Structure 1
Amino acid sequence: MRDAVRPIAALTAAAALLLAVVAPSGSAFDQAKQPSAPAKQAAPAPAQPPEVKQIALTDKQIESILASQKDFDALSDQASAKPGAKEPPNMLAKLDEVAKKYGFANYADYAIVQSNIELVMGGFDPKTKTYVGSEAVLKQQLAEVQADKKMSAEDKKDALADINEALKSPPPAVAFKSNIDLVGKYYDKLVALMQDDE
C-alpha cells in the first residue's frame, strides 16, 4: 500500500531536487556556521516542501518527458552503480545535456515540467483514472490501509503515518486546469513510467 503514497512522495522529492539543483543557496550552510541556539529556544516548525513552479503543460513537454526517461535512468544507474560512491563529475552538465536532447532548455526546465506532471498525477484516482484532487486520493488511501486485513501491523502503522503526514501538508492546488486534461490523456503511459522508476 506504500506504493499508493509514492506519487505524493515523488512530488516532494522532485521539488526538493529541483530546489537543490536550480537554486542552491547558502542558507543551510549559513545556519550551520551560526553558534548553536540556547537550549531553552523552541525548535522551529518543520520546513514545508518547496512550492512547485506551476506552468501550463503542452503535449510536446509530456511526450519529451516520456521519451527522455531511458536516458535519465541510464544516468541515474551510472550515478548509483557503486554504493557509497561519489556523484560522477559534471553530473549537472550531463543532466542538462540529456534535457536539451529532448527539447528542454536545461535540467531545471525538465524538472519543472516533471514536477507539474507529478502534481497533477497525485490527484488522479488510480481506479477510475479521473482527477479527484490529491486530498481525496490521500483520504481514499487512508481508508484502504485502515481496511486492509492482510497488511502487517508495522507496515500499516508506517503507511498510515506517511499518509497522515501527507495530509498535513498537501501539495498546492493545480493552477492550470488544462494540465489535468493533458495529463489524463497520457495517464496510462505516465503511470507505466512511474512504475518503471520504482
Structure 2
Amino acid sequence: MPALLRPALTALGVACLVSAASLASSDTAFAQAKQPPAPSQAAPAPAQQQAPALKQIALTDKQIDGVLAAQKDMDAITEKLPQNTAPDQKVIARLEEVAKKHGFASYDDYNSVVDNISLVIGGFDPATKKYVGTDAVIKAQIAQIQTDNKMPAKEKKEVLDELNEALKTPVPAIENKGNIDLVGKYYDKLVAALGDEEN
C-alpha cells in the first residue's frame, strides 16, 4: 500500500511490519520485501506537520472480519498505485466504496482499525505467536539478523540500522488490552492478509 495512503504510522510501520514479516521467514528476500522504506528515505514532510497520534480503539470480531474480507479488494486497488504518491479522487472513492462494502463507515475508519491491528501485531513473537511487546520482537530480530551469515553485509547494515532506529521510536502502550487476545485469535489470518501490504 503506498506510504501516503496511511502516513500516521511511518515509524510504527517499520517496527510492526518488520516484526510481522522478517521473523516469519528466514528467507532474506521475503524479509526485505516486507520492509517499508526507512523514515529517512520517505518523502520529507514539512517540519511543522507531524503525523497525528494513533487513536486507539477497542477492536471487535466484526471489525477484524471486515478487514480480512476487504483486504483482497483493497490490495487490488492499491497495488496498482505508484509508490509514494497520493491517490487521486477516483482511487479514494474506490477505497471508500470497498470500506463501506465491508462494514466500515469510511476508508478512514477502515485504516483506523488496520492501524490498531498493526500496533498489536508488532508486539507478537511470530515464532511463538504470543504477545511479548514490540521492543522484545525488535531485539529478537536484531539478534537474528546479526547471526545471519547469508545476508549481504550492506543489506544487513541497512536492516540493522532500521531496526535500531525503530527501537528508539517509542511505540504507544496498548490501551485496550482485550485487543491483544482478539488479534492473537486471528493472528495467522491477519499476518497472511496484512503481511503483503508493502509489496
Query: Shorter chain as normaliser: what TM range?
Result: 0.7 to 0.9
Amino acid at match of 2:101: K
User: Structure 1: which 5+ residue stretches go unaligned?
Assistant: 17-26, 32-46
Partner residue of 2:154? 154
Partner residue of 1:65? 67
Partner residue of 1:74? 76
| Cα distance between partner residues in 2 of 1:84 and 1:139 | 29
Superposition deviation, residue 173 in structure 1: 1.1
In percent, how many aligned pairs have the same letter?
52
Structure 1 residue ranges, 4+ long, deviating more than 6 angstroms after superposition: 83-86
Superposition deviation, residue 162 in structure 1: 0.4
Say if 1:94 and 1:154 are closer, same or farther in 2 by CA, change over 3 A: same
Partner residue of 2:96? 96
Q: Deviations over 1:45-101 (max 9, x none)?
A: xx8754211000000000000000111111113434xx8998444222221111111
Superposition deviation, residue 148 in structure 1: 1.5
Say if 1:48 and 1:169 are closer, same or farther in 2 by CA, change over 3 A: farther
Query: Which structure is richer in relative contact order (CA contacts within 8 A, separation 6 or more)?
Result: 2
Say if 1:143 and 1:48 are closer, same or farther in 2 by CA, change over 3 A: farther
Matched pairs, number: 166
1:19-168 paired onto structure 2 within 5 Å: 28=46, 50-80=52-82, 87-168=87-168
**Is the CA contact 2:69–2:102 (under 8 Å) kept in the aligned structure 1?**
yes
Say if 1:50 and 1:92 are closer, same or farther in 2 by CA, change over 3 A: same
Superposition deviation, residue 127 in structure 1: 0.3
Stretch deviating more after TM superposition (105-114 or 145-154): 145-154
**Is the CA contact 1:5–1:162 (under 8 Å) kept in the aligned structure 2?**
no
Partner residue of 1:34? none
Helix, strand or coil for the counterpart of 1:196?
A: coil
Question: Which residue, out of 18, 24, 29, partners 1:5?
Answer: 18
**Is the CA contact 2:19–2:141 (under 8 Å) kept in the aligned structure 1?**
no
User: Structure 2: which 5+ residue stretches go unaligned?
Assistant: 1-14, 22-34
- What value does the CA root-mean-square deviation take over the aligned residues? 3.2
TM-score norm. by structure 1 comes to 0.73
| Cα distance between partner residues in 2 of 1:161 and 1:84 | 22
| Cα distance between partner residues in 1 of 2:17 and 2:145 | 10
Amino acid at match of 2:118: E
Superposition deviation, residue 194 in structure 1: 2.6
Which structure has the larger Rg? 1
| Cα distance between partner residues in 1 of 2:90 and 2:20 | 29
